[in-house]
Chain A
Amino acid sequence: MSQFSTPQALAHIRRRKRKDSFFMVLMGGASLLAILILCTLLFKIGAEGMEFLKPNLFQNFPGSRPSTSGIKHAIFGTIYLMILTLLLTVPLGVFAALYLEEFQTRKNWFTNLINLNLANLSGVPSIVYGMLGLAIFVPFVAQLAGDPMKGKTLLAGSMTMAILVLPVVILVSQEALKAVPKAYRDGSLAMGATRWQTIRRVVLPSAMPGILTGVILSASRAIGETAPLIVVGAATLVNFVPQGVFDSYGVIPLQIFDWSQRPQEDFKSLAASTIIVLMTLLILLNSAALILRARNAKRV
C-alpha cells in the first residue's frame, strides 16, 4: 500500500475532484446562461415579431396604424448613415494608424499620449459623442447648408457616428499593421522602395483583411447605436427616403425605441419585427467580418 492510497490521501483526492467538478459545472452554467438568455431573447422577439414581418414593413413609412406602418425610411437611413460614416472614418482611421505604426515607430511621449487617448476614447459612452455632435457638427452642418433647419441631418449624424467609431477603427488598424511581419517591410525597403511605396504595395495589402474586419465591426456598432443619434436629430416620423446629406433621416434602432414605448401592444410587436430586421443586418455584417478573419488566418 503506497502512501497515496491511505484513507486520508484518498479523501483528499476526492475532495479535490469534487471541487474540480463543482467549478466545471459552475463555469459551464455561466456560459450556458449566456446562451440561454440569447435564446430566450431570440425566441421571444421571434414569436412577437413574426406578425408584422410582412412586405409592408419594408415598403411603407411609419404611421399611426401599426398594420400599415413600415421602416422603409429607417432601412435606407441606416444604410446611408453607415456608408457615409465609413467614408468619413476609414481614410482618417487608416491614415492615423499608418502614421502611428509606420512613421512614428519610435515610441515617445507624443505617440504614447495618442495611444492612451485612443484607448480611453474607445470607451467613452456614446451619448457623450452625441453631445459633441450637437455642439459642433449640427451648427456646422446648418452653416454649411445655410439653413438652420438643415442642421440635424444625415451629414451631422454621420459625422457624429464617424468620431464615435474612429478610435476603434484606428486601434484595429494598428493591430492589423502590427501583425504584418517586419521582414516584408525590410525586404521592400531593401529593394529601394520608398516608405510610401512600401506601405501602399506591401504593408497595406497584407494588413487589409484585418483592417476590413475592424471596419465592418465598427460599422455594425454604428448601426446599433441610438443614443447619440437621438441627440443629433434622427427622427422617428419621417415619410421619405433621404435624397442627400442635408435631408432628415431615421434609423432602425431609434424606430425600435420609439415603437417599444408606445402604449399600444401592436406597436410593440412592430418593434419586435424591426428588431428581427436589425439583428439580421447585424448578423450579416458580423459574419462578413468572421469570414474575412478566417481567410486572413489561413493565409498568414
Chain B
Amino acid sequence: MRTIWITLAMSLTTGLVLTSCTPSTDGDTTPTTTSDSTESGANASAGTMPSGLTGEIKIDGSSTVYPVMEALVDPNGEFGKANTGLQIVVGSSGTGAGMEKFARGESDIATASRPIKDSEIEALKAANIEFVEIPVAFDGLTVVVNKENTWVKQMTVDQLKAVWNKDSKIANWKEIDPSFPDMKLGLYGPTDAHGTYEFFNETINGDADNTRPDYQATADYSTMVPGIEGDKGAMGYLGLAYFEQNKDKMMAVPIVAPDGTPVTPSLDTVRNGTYLPLSRPLILYVNKKSLDKPEVKAFLMYVLKMGGPMVQETGYVPLPDAVAATAWDRVEKGLIGSVLKNFKPGDSMEDAMAMESN
C-alpha cells in the first residue's frame, strides 16, 4: 500500500514540479522596471503610471474590445509589471452577454462595441446599478474581398445594402454592378453574438437583425479569414483590427462616404472621422459603485491618459487627447448615464463626452 501512495503522490506532484522552477507567488516577482516607469511617466505628460495597486477588477463584454483590454492590462506590460498585486480578469462573452453580467453585478466594467440599448438601461435601473460611460478607442468596420478581386474599386452603402439586406437575392457580382464580372458571390460575416454584426446591420440595413440569412456566419474571425482567402468571389465584413492583422490575406474595399468620396479604412481615416459611416466608438461601462475602489479609478486613469500606444498596437484607433480628457472628467465627476446612446457616426465624440447625461 505504502508504495502505491508514494507512486500516486509522485505522479500528482510531477505536475507541480513542472512549475516549481518558477516563483509560486506574485509577491516574489517584484517589478524590476522602476526605471521604465519613471521614464514613461516623464514622457506621458498626462499622468504617472499607477503602481502598487491591489484588489480586483472584473471586466467582461465585447470580444471586439477584448484585444484592447488585453493590451491595456497585459501582465507583462508596463502597467501589469507595476501592479502585480492587482487581480484583473477579462472575459469576452460578447457585448450583450457582458451587459447582462454587468446588470447582475458580476463585473466592475462592461465592455461594448456599441452604445448601450434602452432595454439594457432599464435592466440596470431595475438592478439599481448606476454606470459611467466612457469611450476607450475607435473601430472601423472593414468590408473585405479576396486578394485577387480586381474589379471592386469602391462600394456605396446602397450597394452594400442591396447585397446584405434580409430580402436580398443577389448571388453574383454581376448583379451588384453590370460592369463586374460573372462571378459567384460568397458572403462571410460574424454571427449575431458579435457587436460587429449589430453595428453593420444597423448602419447598412437599418436595424440590428436585418440581414440576409444565407451568408457564412462565423463565431470567430480566424475561421472567416481562410474562407475569404480561398474564395475568389468572397465579400465579408470584420473589425479594422482583425483586418490590419491579416492585411496580406485580403483586401479592404473603400466605402463611399456621405459626401461622395470613397475612403479606405485605416487608423488615420477612422480617427479623423472621414471613414464613414462604418466607424464606431468602443465603450466601457463602469459600475459607479466600483469607482469607489481606488484600483478601478486608477486603472481608468491609466486607460484614458496612457493607454493610447497600447490601443494603437492592437490595430484599433486611440482616442484623441481632447476626447480622453473629457472622458476622464466624466469619471472624476462620476457623471452617470449614457450620452453615446444617440451617438451617430460622424458626431463629435468630444462634444458628446462634455454633455450632461440624460
Question: Chain A interface (Cβ within 8 Å of chain B)?
Answer: 55, 58-65, 68-70, 72, 75-76, 79, 83, 148-149, 151-152, 205, 208-209, 212, 216, 233, 235-241, 247-248, 260-264, 277, 280-281, 284-285, 287-288, 291-292, 295
Contact = CB atoms under 8 A, between A and B. Distances in A.
A297 B86 CA distance: 51
B294 interface: no
Contacts, number: 133
A61 B19 contact: no
B24 to A, nearest CB: 7
Contacts of B105: 148-149
A263 B245 contact: yes
A76 B76 CA distance: 18
Nearest to B80: A239
Contacts of A277: 18
Interface size class of B (residues with CB under 8 A): 35 or more
Interface string B82-96: 000011111110000
A284 B7 contact: no
B314 interface: yes
B73 A149 contact: no
Nearest to B22: A59
A75 B19 contact: yes
Contacts of B91: 233, 235-237
Contact of B4 (A151, A152, A209, A262): A209
Interface of B: 1, 3-4, 7-8, 10-12, 14-16, 18-19, 21-26, 56, 58, 66-67, 69-71, 73-77, 80, 86-92, 104-108, 220-223, 225, 242, 245-246, 310, 313-314
Given A248-B89, A288-B10, 9 more contacts: A58-B22, A64-B70, A64-B74, A64-B77, A64-B313, A75-B15, A261-B220, A263-B242, A284-B14
Contacts of A61: 75-76, 80
B71 A64 contact: yes
Contacts of A72: 19, 22
B26 A63 contact: no
B4 A63 contact: no
B76 A292 contact: no
Given A55-B21, A64-B74, A261-B220, A292 B4 contact: yes
B75 A216 contact: no
Nearest to A75: B19
Contacts of B22: 55, 58-59, 72
A147 B25 CA distance: 25
